[in-house]
Amino acid sequence: MLGRLILLFTAVPLLELALLIWMGNHVGVVPTIALVLTTGVLGAALARHQGLATWGRFHAALGAGRLPEGELIEGLLILVAGALLITPGLLTDTTGFLLLVPPLRHRLARWTGEAVRRRFVARPARPPRRPSRSPGAQPTSPAGTGGSDDTVIDAEFEVVERDRPGR
């Protein structure tokens, strides 16, 4: 995993730099810089718009009592797309814009959700353990209930020192 991260953080910037130099040599420096700035601004605005729409769907799913797992994954993908789009470079911009295409993002979100479900298993929470009783202790029950009394009483107390004779 560490090797992949090192490769990602060294190879991608070097490739981006090579592509920007190549493009600057073929179309000029000013058009290359203008393209990078335009894709950053346009991409950030598009990511914001789609992120707000996903946020609305997230709240609608919660209001309907449904777990918004798809909306969470899509929101994460939009966040990644926004980060890629404000990063200068042609590959990052292309990847960011591809993540903002709804059909591609929906498919990737579905695939990611399935991969997460295969990797992690959700189980219901275990019920809380009953307090252990000392050996030989008899359970007590309130009058008329016929069961043990597991009622917890929350109380506050204050230690009052009494005056001793001779004080």
Q: Encode pLDDT of 124-141 as tens digits.
A: 667 666 665 555 555 555
**What does the CA dihedral 87, 88, 94, 97 come to, rounded to 10 degrees?**
50
Q: Encode pLDDT of 27-70 as tens digits.
A: 999 999 999 889 888 988 999 999 999 999 999 998 898 888 88
CA triplet 9, 13, 17: central angle to 5 degrees? 170
Q: What is the DSSP string of 144-165?
A: TT-S-------------PPPPT
In this prediction, residue 44 carries a pLDDT of 86
In this prediction, residue 52 carries a pLDDT of 92
In this prediction, residue 113 carries a pLDDT of 85
In this prediction, residue 79 carries a pLDDT of 93
Distance from C-alpha of 98 to C-alpha of 78, rounded to nearest angstrom = 10
Q: Do 93 and 43 meet the contact criterion of CB atoms below 8 Å apart?
A: yes
Whole-Å CA distances, 150 to 130, 135, 144: 8, 17, 15
Whole-Å CA distances, 129 to 53, 61, 126: 43, 33, 8
- pLDDT band, very low/low/confident/very high, at 142 (cuts 50, 70, 90): low
Average model confidence (pLDDT) for the chain? 82
Q: What are the sequence ranges of the domains in the chain?
A: 33-119
Whether the model pTM is above 0.75: no
